[in-house]
Structure formats: structure tokens, C-alpha cells
């Protein structure tokens, strides 16, 4: 099968096999000039940390991405929330553990708050036949995604499959997720997130919001430490914050349409309930500065 690299995003960790494909047209500005312009338009960083120069092993050291400004996003976006397409569907695939069933419910609650949209968890369905590779003992993410595209609800802003089994695509050892913003679909695996509930939950929430950002046409962020930054290893992904930076938040606000203060309040309450004190404190400080 030929992969259309213009519409598929791959998120993979391990042995520097991470790949992220996007529609990469020739840029008019260099990275440094683009950063200068973006930073100059933001009067107060309000606690957001600019990305330092990348180090060997980190995502941007190996993948020299040019970033995406707010104006570029508006020109490139393919998936916009409308009255007819406004629901996020989380689709359990196969048999999930009791822990993962609980995590799915938290993913639904978080998606509702983070993306200011209705979200629901569907009844489980079987993992598509023919997607299991017995030689690798893994499931082919491309084959699963093709099935999801055929059964996606008409009103889906995003239709994302979640499973406990390991995923792969040809050429990579494994992937954590695969998403297509043209088809508004994605599939994510929780297989490699560990057995500690709190750590597993945080990683699941991060990969969902990161990949949902891609489904909403956001490229990787190169300006600040942000949930939309690329990651080349699990430790690098763990260092990535749960929040959007000022640039990416503006993209989401333009697309989804929400009240920032209300969104911050709901996120802070959610973080406190889960014991994510660092995240709650960051947004509390941000909200106090913004008001």
C-alpha cells in the first residue's frame, strides 16, 4: 500500500526511528527569522519556556522542522469544528484491562475540557481482521486506520481508536499512534506506557491531545515547550508539558472557539482531581496573569 505522506502523521518512539510526515512545502522564512517574528508578537511569555537549542538524541536535532505560525495554520487547516462536525469519539478496540477502561473514561473527560467539545466513549469493537502480524506479534496501524475511516460517524470532529496491543507500521519497530487529519481519524496504543496508573494516565492524555492537535492540522511546535513538540524518546515525551504554548493555543482557539478563562478553570479542576499539581499550578498562575 502506498502511504500518502501529506496526510499521515506517525508518532513512534525508540532507537531514533521516530518519523513525522507532513505536507512540507518550501518555506519563505528560515527558522530563526520565523522564531524572531513569533516571539516579537508575544509581549509577555507568561511563564511559557522558549525551546532551547536541541541536543543530540532530541527530536529537533534529528528532524529540522520549520514550524507553523498562526497565519500559516489558518492557511493550511483542513479540519475545522462546525455544528455538523463537533464530536470527539473514542473507540475502544479489542479487550482492554480494567485500568485502561478507567483511563479511557478520563481521556473522554479530558478531551471534553481540553478541546472544548463533546466527547464520548463508544462500545468496544473488535480489532479489524487482517491487521495482526504474527511474525511481529504486533498490529498494523495502517490497516486499522483504514477500517476506522470507513465507519467514522458523520458528525465526528475526530474518531480515535484506542487499544492495549502494540502497533507498528512498515519500516518502524513500533508506533504509539497514527492519525490522518484528512479523514479526522487516528489509532493509539497504550502498550508501552507502563503499569503505574498515574504515569500511564498522563502519558495517555498527552498522546491523545498531541495527536488530536495533528488531526486538527497543527504541525509540531518549535517555539516553546508545548504538548505539540515532537519527541524522539519516551523520556523526551515525559518532559513535554501537557499545555499548549501561546502560538498553538491561538490556533486551537481560532478553530474550536472557546472562552480561555472557562477552559483554564475546568482544566485546573481536572488536574487537581487527578493530583497533577504541577499542571494545576502552572495554569492557575497563567490564569491570574491573564485576568
| Residues annotated as catalytic (active site), given as ranges | 211
Report the relative pairing of strands 118-121 and 132-133 from DSSP bridges. Answer: unpaired
* Alpha carbons 110 and 205: distance in angstroms, whole number: 7
Give φ, ψ of 180 to 5 degrees. Answer: -125, 115
Using a 10 angstrom Cβ sphere, with 0-12 exposed, 13-18 middle and 19 or more buried, the burial of residue 139 is buried
What are the angstrom distances between the C-alpha of 63 and each of 110, 171, 190? Answer: 30, 17, 25
What are the angstrom distances between the C-alpha of 283 and each of 1, 158, 254? Answer: 44, 26, 20
Q: How many CB atoms lie within 10 A of CB 33?
A: 11
Amino acid at each position: 500500500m502506498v502511504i500518502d505522506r501529506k496526510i499521515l502523521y506517525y508518532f513512534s518512539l525508540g532507537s531514533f526511528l521516530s518519523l513525522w510526515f507532513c505536507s512540507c512545502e518550501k518555506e519563505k522564512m528560515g527558522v530563526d527569522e520565523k522564531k524572531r517574528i513569533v516571539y516579537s508578537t508575544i509581549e509577555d511569555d507568561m511563564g511559557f519556556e522558549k525551546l532551547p537549542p536541541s541536543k543530540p538524541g532530541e527530536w529537533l536535532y534529528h528532524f529540522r522542522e520549520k514550524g507553523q505560525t498562526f497565519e500559516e495554520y489558518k492557511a493550511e487547516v483542513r479540519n475545522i469544528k462546525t455544528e455538523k462536525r463537533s464530536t470527539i469519539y473514542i473507540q475502544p478496540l479489542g479487550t482492554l484491562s480494567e485500568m485502561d477502561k478507567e483511563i479511557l473514561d478520563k481521556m473522554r473527560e479530558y478531551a471534553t475540557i481540553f478541546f472544548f467539545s463533546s466527547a464520548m466513549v463508544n462500545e468496544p469493537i473488535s480489532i479489524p481482521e487482517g491487521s495482526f502480524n504474527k511474525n511481529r506479534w504486533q498490529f498494523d496501524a495502517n490497516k486499522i486506520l483504514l477500517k476506522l475511516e470507513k465507519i467514522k460517524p458523520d458528525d465526528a470532529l475526530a474518531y480515535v481508536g484506542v487499544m492495549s496491543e502494540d502497533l507498528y507500521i512498515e519500516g518502524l519497530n513500533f508506533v504509539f499512534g497514527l492519525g490522518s487529519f484528512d479523514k479526522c481519524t487516528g489509532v493509539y496504543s497504550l502498550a508501552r506506557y507502563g503499569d503505574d496508573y498515574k504515569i500511564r494516565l498522563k502519558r495517555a492524555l498527552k498522546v491523545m491531545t498531541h495527536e488530536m492537535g495533528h488531526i486538527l492540522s497543527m504541525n509540531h511546535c518549535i517555539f516553546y515547550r508545548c504538548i505539540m513538540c515532537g519527541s524522539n524518546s519516551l523520556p523526551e515525551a515525559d518532559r513535554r508539558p501537557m499545555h499548549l504554548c501561546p502560538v498553538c493555543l491561538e490556533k486551537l482557539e481560532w478553530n474550536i472557539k472557546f472562552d480561555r478563562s472557562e477552559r483554564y478553570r475546568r482544566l485546573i479542576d481536572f488536574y487537581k482531581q487527578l493530583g497533577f499539581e504541577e499542571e494545576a499550578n502552572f495554569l492557575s498562575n497563567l490564569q491570574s496573569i491573564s485576568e
